[in-house]
Structure formats: structure tokens, C-alpha cells
């Protein structure tokens, strides 16, 4: 048995435990069929000299894009083609730790096993690059396939700017409070593409969560639990909309005045 990078590093292990816990939630929610969805977290703050000395256990792979703020950073990433429900139980067998190379355009795997990171790495690392540049201390990125939110994107009306944001805010006050910038839409693009990554970070400048048309959502946060919460809040609002519609009526929604009151009260 190779020694795990988590051994004698309780703070790092605690972050990986959170990833595993969230991976389990994604499966329970029905958002993670097969290998659907991916998680990455920036673990650079937990890296010590011993980790810095660790040799690569893979060749250098290209990211597909150049991300200047990631030089020498370390990430834990779900492996490509790995199941969330397996990540939940065995995170270090279904994910790996990578180090970004000096060129900021490639990475190597350093631990525990040479598990190739998610095919959406360009999008994830672009989100991390932007999080560092924005200096908010955000460390986690999540992409998942919530049934309800994806279904909404099959209606062209909902793809128009801010239509979904306003609809979901109006379903329950929590959405307005906890997702104050709302849900951005990225028109359909090839999964795993750099174009998708670029459109994602562009939309994240304006919105809390980004919807990939007919595919899934991306959320970021201080840790993976909070990134999950963002999607969960939007999914709950969508469920309320669907429940009202299936009872045969168009939900009234909170009024603009009620939302404005909330905005003032919570300083949103």
C-alpha cells in the first residue's frame, strides 16, 4: 500500500472528507448518473515541503488553456469517468492531487494514484484561476447535472437573460437571500471544451451559479459544501415551481416589492 498524502494531514483530510460527503449528496439527489458531474478543490494552503518534493506520477498533461494565477497550485480533482457514488466512499481511489506546472498550461499528478482528472478540468481550473484573481478566498468548484434545473433549459423562454433568475428568486425568499446574483445561462457548447470553460468564467463574473444549457450547472464557493448549497437552493426553488405547475396552476411568485424588501433587509 502506498502511503496516502492524507496521512498525518488532518486539515487536508477534512477538506477531502467534505468532498466525499458532497459527492454522496449528489448521488442521493439523483444529480450524478454514472460519472456525471465533477468536483475540484484548491488545496495549495495545505501543501508542505514534503508535498512540494513529491515527484510526478504521470506525464505532464496540457490543461488546454493557460491560467497564470495557478502557477505551482495544487488541486484535488475527481477522476474522469469515475462515479460520484464511488468518490463518496473512496475519494483517493477516484480522484487525485495535481500540481500546476511552471508554464501554467499543464499539470502533473502527484498523489495518491495516477487517476486522470475530470474531462471538465479546463472549466474547473479556469474557475479556480478566476477565484484567485478575485481574491475572495474561494477554493471549490462543482459541476453537476440536477434534473430539475437541466429540464428548465429545454424551454427557450427560460434561456433569455435573467428570466430564470427572477422566476427562481420569486419561488421562495431563501433563493433571493442565498443566491443574490442569480443564475447565468451559457448557451449549449461541447462538453469539456475550452469554449465552454471561457463562457463559464465570463458568466460567473455576473452570476453566483452558471447553467450549461441542456447539460448541468457550475457553482463555486469558499468550500465544496457551500458550492453545493448554492445549487441546492436553486434546485429547491425549481421544485416548488414544478410542484405548483403539476398541481395545475402558474405559481404567483413573491412580488417585486417583497423581493426589494428582502434585498434591503439582507443588504444584497
Q: Is 120 a catalytic residue?
A: yes
Binding part of the chain for ligand 13P, among 45-53, 78-86, 164-172, 201-209 by CB under 6 A, reads 78-86
Task: Work out whether 216 is an interface residue with Zn ion (CB under 5 A).
Answer: yes
Task: Work out whether 78 is an interface residue with ligand 13P (CB under 6 A).
Answer: yes
78 binds, among Zn ion, ligand 13P, none (CB under 5 to 8 A by kind): ligand 13P
Binding part of the chain for ligand 13P, among 58-66, 74-82, 89-97, 221-229 by CB under 6 A, reads 74-82
The span from the CA of 221 to the CA of 95, in Å, is 20
38 binds, among ligand 13P, Zn ion, none (CB under 5 to 8 A by kind): ligand 13P
Task: Work out whether 120 is an interface residue with ligand 13P (CB under 6 A).
Answer: yes
- Considering the complex, state which of residue 91 and residue 216 has its C-beta at the smaller distance from Zn ion: 216
Q: What is the DSSP string of 18-76?
A: HHHHHHHHHHHHT---TT--EEEEE-GGG--HHHHHPPPSS--EE-SS--GGGTT-EEE
Beta strands in 59-206 (DSSP E): 61-62, 74-78, 95-100, 106-111, 140-144, 183-186
Task: Work out whether 37 is an interface residue with ligand 13P (CB under 6 A).
Answer: yes
- Considering the complex, state which of residue 79 and residue 216 has its C-beta at the smaller distance from Zn ion: 216
Task: Work out whether 29 is an interface residue with ligand 13P (CB under 6 A).
Answer: no
H or E element that contains 225: helix 224-246
Task: State the catalytic residue, choosing from 102, 120, 174, 261.
Answer: 120
Please, what is the angle between helix 224-246 and helix 10-29, to 10°? 10
For residue 254, give the 3-state DSSP assignment.
coil
The span from the CA of 255 to the CA of 116, in Å, is 48
Q: Closest distance between ligand 13P and the C-beta of residue 217, in Å? A: 11
170 binds, among ligand 13P, Zn ion, none (CB under 5 to 8 A by kind): none
For residue 138, give the 3-state DSSP assignment.
coil
Catalytic residues: 120
The residues that touch ligand 13P, with contacts defined as CB under 6 A, are 35-38, 78, 80-81, 118-120, 143, 191
Amino acid at each position: 500500500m502506498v502511503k496516502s498524502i492524507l496521512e498525518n494531514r488532518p486539515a487536508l483530510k477534512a477538506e477531502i472528507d467534505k468532498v466525499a460527503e458532497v459527492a454522496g449528496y449528489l448521488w442521493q439527489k439523483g444529480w450524478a448518473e454514472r460519472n456525471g458531474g465533477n468536483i475540484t478543490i484548491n488545496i495549495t494552503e495545505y501543501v508542505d515541503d514534503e508535498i512540494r518534493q513529491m515527484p510526478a506520477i504521470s506525464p505532464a498533461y496540457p490543461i488546454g488553456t493557460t491560467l497564470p494565477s495557478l502557477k505551482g497550485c495544487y488541486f484535488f480533482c475527481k477522476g474522469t469517468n469515475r462515479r460520484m457514488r464511488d468518490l463518496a466512499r473512496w475519494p483517493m481511489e477516484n480522484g487525485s492531487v495535481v500540481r500546476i506546472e511552471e508554464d501554467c498550461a499543464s499539470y502533473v499528478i502527484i498523489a495518491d494514484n495516477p487517476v486522470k482528472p475530470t474531462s471538465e478540468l479546463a472549466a474547473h481550473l479556469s474557475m479556480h484561476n478566476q477565484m484567485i484573481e478575485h481574491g475572495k478566498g474561494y477554493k471549490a468548484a462543482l459541476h453537476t447535472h440536477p434534473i430539475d434545473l437541466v429540464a428548465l433549459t429545454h424551454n427557450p423562454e427560460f434561456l433569455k437573460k435573467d428570466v430564470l433568475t427572477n422566476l427562481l428568486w420569486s419561488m421562495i425568499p431563501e433563493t433571493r437571500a442565498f443566491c443574490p446574483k442569480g443564475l447565468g445561462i451559457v448557451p449549449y457548447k461541447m462538453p469539456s471544451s475550452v469554449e465552454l470553460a471561457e463562457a463559464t468564467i465570463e458568466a460567473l463574473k455576473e452570476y453566483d451559479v452558471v447553467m450549461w444549457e441542456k447539460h448541468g450547472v457550475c457553482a463555486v464557493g469558499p468550500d465544496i459544501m457551500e458550492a453545493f448549497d448554492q445549487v441546492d437552493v436553486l434546485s429547491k426553488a425549481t421544485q416548488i415551481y414544478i410542484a405548483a405547475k403539476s398541481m395545475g396552476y402558474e405559481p404567483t411568485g413573491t412580488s417585486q416589492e417583497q423581493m426589494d424588501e428582502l434585498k434591503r433587509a439582507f443588504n444584497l
